[in-house]
């Protein structure tokens, strides 16, 4: 696999989580659990079988996506332009 194929699932899952987070219909405390479930679902779809390694890979997808969303949120909140 090249860099693009390894990086795209994280970005796609992060965008999906950001959209879910912005709807305000899902509490923020459920976002990490939802991310892990979606990550496992994607890893299962990608590999076609369910093994402990696939579960771990899916959890990795989900948790890295949550971290990415948190990093972007923190960056946007701390770098707001100053208002007079």
Q: Is residue 58 part of a domain?
A: yes
| Mean pLDDT, all residues of the chain | 85
Q: Is residue 83 part of a domain?
A: no
Q: Is residue 9 part of a domain?
A: yes
Q: Give the integer Cα–Cα distance in Å for 66 and 56.
A: 15
pLDDT over 80 at 1, yes or no: no
Model pTM? 0.78
**Number of domains the chain contains:** 1
Q: What band does 55 get if pLDDT is binned at 50, 70 and 90?
A: very high
Q: Is residue 84 part of a domain?
A: no
pLDDT over 70 at 56, yes or no: yes
Owning domain of residue 29: 3-78
Counting residues of the chain whose pLDDT is more than 90, the rounded percentage is: 23
Q: For 67-76, what is the mean pLDDT?
A: 86
Contact 62, 36 (CB under 8 A): yes
pLDDT, greater one: 49 or 1: 49
**Neighbouring residues of 36: CB distance < 8 A, sequence distance ≥ 6:** 58, 59, 62, 63
Tokens of 12: 């796609």
Q: Is residue 42 part of a domain?
A: yes
């Amino acid at each position: 696999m090249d860099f693009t194929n390894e990086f795209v699932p994280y970005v796609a899952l992060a965008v999906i989580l950001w959209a879910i987070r912005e709807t305000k219909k899902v509490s923020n405390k459920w976002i990490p659990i939802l991310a892990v479930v979606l990550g496992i679902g994607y890893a299962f779809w990608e590999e076609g079988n369910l093994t402990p390694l696939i579960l771990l890979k899916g959890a990795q997808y989900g948790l890295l996506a949550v971290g990415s969303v948190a990093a972007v949120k923190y960056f946007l909140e701390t770098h707001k332009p100053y208002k007079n």
